[in-house]
Amino acid sequence: MAAGRLIVPPAVEPSHEGVDPNVSPNSSQANSSREGEPVLRVRNVSKRFGAVTALDGVSIDFHIGETVGVVGDNGAGKSTLLKVMTGVHRPDGGSLEVEGKEVTFDAPGVARANGIEAVYQDLALVDDMNVAENMFLGREIRAGGIGRTLGIVNRKAMRRQAADAIANLRVPIPHIDETLVRRMSGGQRQGVAIARSIMWGRKVLLLDEPTAALGVKQQDEVERMIQELRGKSLAMMIIAHNMPLVFRLTDRIIVLRHGRVVAALATAETSPEEVVTYITGAKTPVSAAS
Amino acid sequence: MSDASKIGEPNDLHAAGKGRPDSASAKSEPVVRAVWAQLRRLHLLIIPLVCFMIAFSLMHDRFLTSVNLLNVARAASVTTIIGVGMTFLITSRNLDLSVGSMLGLIMAVAGTAMKWYGVPVPIAILMALAAGALLGVINGFVVTALKVPALLATLGTLVAYRGILNQYMYGETASRMPDSIVFLGQGMVGPVPVPVIVAAIAVVAGMLVYRFTVFGRYAVAIGGNEEAAKRAGINVNFWKVVFFTVQGMLCGVAAIVYLGQLNATHPSIGTGLELHIIAGTILGGTLLFGGYGSIGGMALGMYLIDVLENGLVLAGAGFFVQQIFLGILLIAAVAAQLAQRRRRDVE
Ligand SMILES: Nc1ncnc2c1ncn2[C@@H]1O[C@H](COP(=O)(O)OP(=O)(O)O)[C@@H](O)[C@H]1O
Ligand SMILES: [Mg+2]
């Protein structure tokens, strides 16, 4: 039984080093090449909080098999962009498209139903619950028959699947049974949040500063987890400040400044120095489209 | 489970065949730790409970008789039933101060329905549950739709529900309830009082619901991290209304039992009861800041309070001394939790 659950997904090539970043590594699949239809399209999105304009006409396309890095100064609008993409915030202007169809993420869970998952900067874990409960929060496996109507949850099945997901990602959590997330280290908590997003994210994975606030060893752990996801049939967005990390993990880099896209660069064709000049505003926009 | 690509199920698209099947094997250790965690939360309570019982039994040889202990359990049954709902509410980081007024109002509705209007007992019981549900929905509506914090919302309804009750009863009483109602409040099944059985059912059901249903799990999630619950797609406001509604319905159950116990109803019944209920719930280990609740602890807490009251009565102290003790108990329980939380935050 366990063997059946751990099958390697088909048609996914995990290694794609040296591949042109503009060409998707698994272009054998329909809809997955860079020229094909984006799985998620952010179009001219704006978001204001009172007098603050957090996002100002942001457009980015996300393609399966590609990892996009989003960088920018504090307050540039990175987290707001992510939250618009998951429906936490409604944009004031612009639109979102999933596989060519315009969508409105007006209720919590709509983005998730579209296969979009996020690891928020604050992780959005319930400290008072255990790993399995957090990973299945809002999507609990119910018991069968009348138990389903009564809202009875199948704790055993959830624990087993959560344990598998944690093991697959090699999150260093010794035993996940009843331990509350509160009792876990920063790296373990990050691992739980990432494992949750991977377990459910069918199309798009959004990570907000996944290695900030972690020790060096834990940063390496998390980076390894992300590295293993690259090239799978997913679109990824990683928000990060750590330039070497961004350059190791992404295919494209988007620079946000004061809520606008000021640069969209192929990772292989730019340098940390150039990206930093855009972040600080020393260099002005040339190619503000994605 | 090998075919798990259905929508709404977790995908194992990314399960890449390097799983370590031994990860879930260490089973007994977490169980032991979970039990220990429970005990650590309860020791606060068990120690004073035992101390008081020893003290009272030394002071009064009638105290430690099974008859008297069952009497205490009988007295604690009404507060325990209401405490089940309060545990879920406080776990979800809410509070209901209107429980005493709801109890009184529902008793008036059901009692007068039977005595003044000849409504049959089963219908009157349904009316009590429906009235409780309605009052609870109103509380939930004020908290979620009007966005009034639960403390103030239910302080408002505490006064308003009591006002409705006084307006309706105008100082009158209804007494001599039908036999079946009296049985629910005063009857015995073997050596066990019927209200104790009702309370025990409520407690066991509450424990199961807390642990094994989304109702209980969402109370923990909402109380633990409401924003995370929202982002997880949980309809937080809907569940809050549900928690308040269940609290109201449990007040309905308690109202029927209490109607039988007193064999009467009066507009002042339930006044001040909210503090008793909240004190017992907090004493039982349920965190005032949400995220953790203990139904079993609550039942012990309610029992402790009535042990105290009973012991004080046997020792010849009056109602006012009981009030002083209840106030001190509530403050002590909250202070202990605050200290525990500070310790946890330092960790
Ligand atoms: N919920 C909110 N309410 C009000 N202002 C907000 C909110 N979220 C973000 N902002 C503001 O929007 C701007 C962008 O914030 P954010 O997206 O968090 O930036 P970043 O993640 O790039 O550091 C900041 O000025 C921030 O203060
Ligand atoms: Mg941010």
Q: Decide which of A196, A217, A237 is a domain's last residue.
A: A196
Q: Directed axis angle between helix B179-186 and helix B236-262, to 10°? A: 100
Distance A75 CA to ligand 1 centre (A): 6
Q: Decide which of A141, A163, A196 is a domain's last residue.
A: A196
Q: Which pLDDT does position B88 carry in this prediction?
A: 98
CB atoms within 10 A of CB A28: 11
Q: For residue A30, tell me if it sits in a domain.
A: yes
Angle at alpha carbon of residue B301, lines to B299 and B304, rounded to 5°: 110
Q: For residue B30, tell me if it sits in a domain.
A: no
| Pocket lining: A80 vs ligand 1, CB cutoff 6 Å | yes
DSSP letters along B22-41, please? GGG---HHHHHHHHHHHHHH
What is the Cα–Cα distance from B71 to B49, expressed in whole angstroms? 16
What is the Cα–Cα distance from B294 to B330, expressed in whole angstroms? 17
Domain count, chain A: 2
Of all protein residues, the one whose alpha carbon is nearest to atom 9 of ligand 1 is A80
Residue A37 sits in the same domain as residue A10: yes
Tokens 């060519």, residue located: A100
Residue A89 sits in the same domain as residue A231: yes
Ligand 1 atom closest to Cα of residue A78: 22
- Hey, is A69 helix, strand or coil? strand
Residue A104 sits in the same domain as residue A214: yes
Domain count, chain B: 1
Residue A206 sits in the same domain as residue A111: yes
What is the Cα–Cα distance from B170 to B167, expressed in whole angstroms? 5
What is the Cα–Cα distance from A241 to A248, expressed in whole angstroms? 13
Buried b (16+ CB within 10 A) or exposed e, B127-158: bbbebbbbbbebbbbbbbeeebebeebbbbbb
- Hey, is B290 helix, strand or coil? coil
Q: For residue A121, tell me if it sits in a domain.
A: no
- Hey, is B337 helix, strand or coil? helix
For chain B, percent of residues with pLDDT exceeding 70:
86
Q: Which pLDDT does position B28 carry in this prediction?
A: 54
Q: For residue B13, tell me if it sits in a domain.
A: no
Q: Which pLDDT does position B312 carry in this prediction?
A: 84
What is the Cα–Cα distance from A257 to A71, expressed in whole angstroms? 9
Residue A145 sits in the same domain as residue A280: no
**A133-147, B35-49, B108-122: the lowest-pLDDT one:** B35-49
Q: For residue B22, tell me if it sits in a domain.
A: no
Nearest CA-CA distance, residue B249 and chain A, Å: 17
Q: For residue B192, tell me if it sits in a domain.
A: yes
DSSP letters along A106-153, please? -STTHHHHTTEEEE-TTTT--TTSBHHHHHTTTSPPBPSTHHHHTTBB
- The token duo for A48 is 């204001």
- Total-model pTM: 0.86
Q: For residue B150, tell me if it sits in a domain.
A: yes
Residue A80 sits in the same domain as residue A7: yes
Q: For residue B196, tell me if it sits in a domain.
A: yes
What is the Cα–Cα distance from A216 to A152, expressed in whole angstroms? 41
Domain that holds residue A190: 127-196
Residues B136-155: pLDDT tens digits? 999 999 999 999 999 999 99
Domain that holds residue B315: 63-346
Residue A166 sits in the same domain as residue A277: no
Q: For residue B86, tell me if it sits in a domain.
A: yes
CB contact under 8 A, B18 and A175: no
CB contact under 8 A, A126 and B7: no
Residue A35 sits in the same domain as residue A172: no
Residue A10 sits in the same domain as residue A64: yes
Residue A107 sits in the same domain as residue A227: yes
Residue A286 sits in the same domain as residue A240: yes
Q: Is B105's pLDDT higher than 70?
A: yes
Q: For residue A44, tell me if it sits in a domain.
A: yes
Q: For residue A26, tell me if it sits in a domain.
A: yes
Q: For residue A91, tell me if it sits in a domain.
A: yes
Residue A47's DSSP bridge partners are A55
Q: Is B53's pLDDT higher than 80?
A: no
Element counts in chain B: helices (H) and strands (E): 13, 4
Average pLDDT, chain B: 87
Residue A209 sits in the same domain as residue A287: yes
Kindly report the CATH number assigned to the domain that includes residue A54. Answer: 3.40.50.300
Q: Alpha-carbon dihedral of residues B124, B128, B129, B131, nearest 10 degrees?
A: 130
Q: For residue A122, tell me if it sits in a domain.
A: no
Q: How many CB pairs under 8 A join A and B?
A: 163
Q: For residue A230, tell me if it sits in a domain.
A: yes
Kindly report the CATH number assigned to the domain that includes residue B276. Answer: 1.10.3470
**A51-55, B190-194, B315-319: the lowest-pLDDT one:** B315-319
- Which one is predicted more confidently, B90 or B322? B90
Q: For residue B81, tell me if it sits in a domain.
A: yes
Task: Kindly give the confidence (pLDDT) of every residue in chain A, 290 residues in length, as a single tens digit, with 9 standing for 90 and above.
Answer: 333 333 333 333 333 333 333 333 333 333 334 557 899 999 999 999 999 999 999 999 999 999 999 999 999 999 999 999 999 999 999 999 999 999 999 877 889 999 999 999 999 999 999 999 999 999 999 998 899 999 999 999 999 999 998 888 888 887 777 789 998 988 889 989 999 999 998 899 999 999 887 888 888 988 998 998 887 889 999 999 999 999 999 999 999 999 999 999 999 999 999 999 999 988 876 544 44
- The token duo for B254 is 């308690």
Q: For residue A59, tell me if it sits in a domain.
A: yes
pLDDT bin (cut points 50, 70, 90) of residue B252 is very high
Distance A92 CA to ligand 1 centre (A): 14
